[in-house]
Amino acid sequence: MTDIKRVGVVGCGLMGAGIAEVCARAGVPVTVVERDAEAARAGLLRLTRSLDRAAAHGKLGAERREAAAALITVVDQLEALHDHDLVIEAVAEDQRLKVEVFTRLDALITQDHTLLATNTSAIPVIRLAAATGRPDRVIGLHFFNPVPVLRLVELVPSLLTSPSTTARAEDFVTRTLGKEVVRTRDKAGFVVNALLVPYLLAAIRMVETGSATVEDVDRGMVLGCAHPLGPLALADLIGLDTTRAIAESLYAEFREPQYSPPPLLSRMVEAGLLGRKSGQGFHTYDSQPERERAAPASQR
């Protein structure tokens, strides 16, 4: 039986909200922290709507939906996490921002057994663990979007993560949350993004050079390789800003051309064309854009 009874999540964007939701649906009380009261209200609304969609689609019964909602608390004070058993950082993919969060968490956590985890997509875990006085209790838990649907979590111990931390984190993810894990060394991109991002960047370069249209690139991979989404639609789903940030982390570590963000990707991010969350990326989306916040307690 896991000893993790209370979970904290820092950030209530797409990933933070998804992580909080799967914890609550597994019967674990979860406290989510956002940067201010307005962001906390928006985060709670995101969580409520997600639970409502799951119930409307028959994936969550009415009683389970109410039980999960009752286990979620969204606040705007990081100090609320001082006594939780596991705290998962899920802020924007920005190393400076993540280091700031880990520094603050290290100062306020009062229990020696608390685990600190990061949901980073590509930043080496040791860089965040080094900002704390407890690097042996810091680990990477990389979930995938949408968290309630996708079963995979990358388990990423750093060079200083203790075996007991790794075992406790894996036990919680597999036994409590019912997810599958793959273990990976602590290097930029881990397993999935180290393979996926060069593919996405190659598709962007193909459009950039005029080799094929956006529509033909995506149709080619859907119809020719049976992928559920084409690479450009997938980049839109991930967020073009997040895709660029992951690519930059990979390129900074390996200095290989395949990881270098194409100029077109950078120009689109600078123009605010971020994909689904802004309503426009390589494709246009009818739904209202989800404005993501980049602050110490937010997540894209």
Instruction: Kindly tell me the sign of the dihedral angle through the C-alpha atoms of 71, 75, 81, 86.
Output: positive
Catalytic, out of 21, 89, 93, 154: 154
How distant, in Å, are the alpha carbons of 183, 248, 258 from that of 199?
22, 15, 9
Catalytic, out of 193, 249, 278, 298: 193
Active site (annotated) includes residue 121? yes
Active site (annotated) includes residue 119? no
CA distance 253 to 162: 24
CA distance 252 to 127: 13
Catalytic, out of 142, 158, 248, 298: 142
Active site (annotated) includes residue 154? yes
Catalytic, out of 50, 119, 121, 278: 121
Which pair of tokens denotes residue 226? 């049976």
Estimate the share of the chain in helix, then strand, then coil, as percent rounded to the nearest 5.
Answer: 50, 15, 40
Backbone angles phi, psi at 248, to 5 degrees: -65, -40
CA distance 278 to 61: 31
Interhelix angle for 263-270 vs 240-254, to 10°? 140
SS (H, E, C) 74-138: EECCHHHHCCCCEEEECCCCCHHHHHHHHHHHHHHCCCCCCEEEECCCCCCHHHHHCCCCCHHHE
Active site (annotated) includes residue 260? no
The distance from CA 285 to its chain's CA centroid, rounded to whole angstroms, is 22
CA distance 150 to 193: 15
Q: What distance, in Å, lies between the first and last C-alpha atoms of the chain? A: 32
Residues annotated as catalytic are: 121, 142, 154, 193
